[in-house]
């Protein structure tokens, strides 16, 4: 293998000649062998980093700080990075010490060497285009990293929002399809009162829809960025007007309504927006997991469980029990949700652990938020495509359970009184007879009266029942 020699403040190192990253990235590779997850695992983050570097180059050129030829080469290099052509040149582990400095330098080096290549120079000719003096001009890791992080989070949040909208639509469609399937609702896993299967599915759609709106709110908050703050929020090593100009150019590049934080010192040290987003993702996870629990219960059996619905069979379920098919899609979504809930705790501790003017734990916050967003997006798509759209109902089974349930006795309480209705329910349970059979045996009402009163279809909405 051929090498080139690069130097930083700690000395010289040999860098493989063909790579676009440089000496500081190489040191990070040696220092941080942690997760085996490089920054390239999250391509939106690389795109956001390149967008920040492009905006900085444009602003620096407009302010007369950067030579036009060098600046244009940097801008064109950022274009290529944003297009995904150099994702494999971002090998730094997502979790690293240094508050993200290794990620920032990885981006600086790749963009500098690509810009050099575009101008016909060999990699490493940093006296022509420097990762620090040119690509990182007017910047610090402490404003580049969090700004790029927020932009990438907005993009990933939008993908999750789209996936949840599609999932909600699938539940809504099933709500319409199953609107006429009468079944027993259950509270505390005990028989309650009649409901329709469609009402259950429609309710899940509403549950998911609530979080779509909250995700959009979180994305708007994340559009408040600290680019221009440089090291601690004072803007040192930048010139007047840079902060507003670079934010304007960045907003144009990303197509996002970015605003400069009102207090850049606060914005550089605070991690509250990440905690809020993580909490919202936990809320999404809790709801999705609960829905998957319900789906597994309703499909349990088929002969010894509820068996009110059928989940589409995805794969054989056992290496020992022939014919067994398991609810593998809800199960995998459950596990995703448990991971997201755990990620939220990590984000909470990392946000709390920040000290004074900087939170050095943004890398682990980034990892957990990116992972939660990506996993929830994929899980939502998987749940919709490989489970919900293929669910079918068992109307006869549902109606059979209604007819044998004691829950219908609830409809008698306004007419014969709670105490009498409770006594009848107990007698039916102990004798093994149905509620209508007990009513008829005791002569409390005529068959026509209790058939009218106990019609499950008439228990699905409010009605005027006068007590005798």
Cβ within 8 Å of residue 306, ≥6 positions away: 297, 298, 299, 300, 401
Distance, CA of 260 to CA of 403 (rounded, Å): 63
Neighbours of 88 (CB within 10 A): 11
Report cis status (omega within 30 of 0) of the bond before 302. yes
Distance, CA of 173 to CA of 389 (rounded, Å): 8
Q: Which two tokens stand for residue 125?
A: 């000719």
Q: Which two tokens stand for residue 369?
A: 């938020």
Distance, CA of 365 to CA of 126 (rounded, Å): 32
Neighbours of 102 (CB within 10 A): 24
Q: Identify the active-site residue in 318, 319, 380, 434.
A: 318
Q: Please, is 402 exposed, middle or buried when counting C-beta atoms within 10 Å of its C-beta (0-12, 13-18, 19+)?
A: buried
Catalytic, 318? Answer yes
What is the rounded (10 degree) CA torsion for 38, 39, 44, 45?
Answer: 170
- What is the C-alpha R_g of the chain? 30
Distance, CA of 270 to CA of 275 (rounded, Å): 10
Cβ within 8 Å of residue 190, ≥6 positions away: none
CB 356 within 8 A of CB 99: no
- Is the sign of the CA dihedral 237, 243, 246, 250 positive or negative? positive
Q: Which residues are designated catalytic?
A: 318
């Amino acid at each position: 293998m051929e090498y080139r020699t690069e130097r930083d403040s700690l000395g010289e190192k040999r860098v493989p000649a063909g790579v676009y990253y440089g000496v500081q990235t190489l040191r990070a590779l040696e220092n941080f062998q942690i997760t085996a997850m490089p920054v390239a695992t999250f391509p939106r983050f690389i795109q956001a980093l390149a967008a920040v570097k492009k905006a900085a180059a444009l602003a620096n050129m407009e302010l007369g700080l950067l030579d036009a030829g060098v600046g244009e080469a940097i801008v064109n290099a950022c274009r290529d990075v944003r297009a995904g052509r150099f994702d494999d040149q971002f090998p730094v582990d997502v979790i690293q010490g240094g508050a993200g400095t290794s990620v920032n330098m990885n981006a600086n080096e790749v963009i500098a060497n690509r810009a050099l290549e575009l101008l016909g120079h060999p990699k490493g000719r940093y006296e022509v285009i420097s990762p620090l003096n040119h690509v990182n001009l007017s910047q610090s890791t402490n404003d580049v990293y969090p700004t790029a992080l927020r932009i990438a989070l907005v993009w990933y949040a939008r993908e999750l929002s789209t996936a949840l909208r599609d999932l909600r639509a699938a539940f809504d469609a099933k709500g319409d399809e199953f609107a006429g399937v009468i079944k027993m609702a259950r509270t505390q896993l005990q028989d309650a009162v009649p409901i329709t299967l469609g009402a259950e599915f429609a309710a899940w759609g509403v549950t998911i829809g609530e979080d779509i709106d909250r995700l959009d709110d979180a994305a708007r908050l994340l559009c408040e960025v600290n680019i221009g703050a440089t090291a601690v929020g004072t803007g040192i090593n930048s010139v007047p007007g840079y902060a507003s100009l670079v934010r304007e150019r960045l907003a144009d590049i990303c197509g996002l309504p970015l605003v400069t934080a009102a207090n850049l010192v606060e914005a550089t040290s605070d991690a509250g927006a990440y905690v809020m987003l993580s909490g919202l993702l936990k809320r999404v996870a809790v709801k999705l997991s609960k829905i998957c629990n319900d789906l597994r219960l309703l499909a349990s059996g088929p002969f010894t469980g509820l068996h009110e619905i059928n989940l589409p069979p995805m794969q054989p379920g056992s290496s020992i029990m022939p014919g067994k098919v398991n609810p593998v899609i809800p199960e995998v979504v459950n596990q995703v949700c448990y991971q997201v809930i755990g990620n939220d705790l990590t984000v909470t501790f990392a946000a709390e652990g920040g000290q004074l003017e900087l939170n050095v734990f943004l890398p682990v916050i980034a990892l957990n938020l990116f992972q939660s967003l990506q996993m929830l997006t994929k899980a939502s798509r998987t749940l919709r495509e490989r489970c919900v759209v293929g669910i079918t109902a068992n109307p006869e089974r549902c109606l059979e359970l209604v007819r044998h349930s004691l829950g219908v006795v609830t409809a008698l309480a306004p007419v014969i009184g709670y105490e009498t209705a409770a006594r009848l329910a107990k007698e039916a349970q102990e004798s093994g007879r149905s509620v209508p059979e007990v009513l008829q045996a005791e002569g409390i009402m005529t068959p026509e009266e209790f058939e009218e009163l106990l019609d499950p279809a008439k228990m699905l909405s409010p009605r005027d029942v006068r007590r005798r």
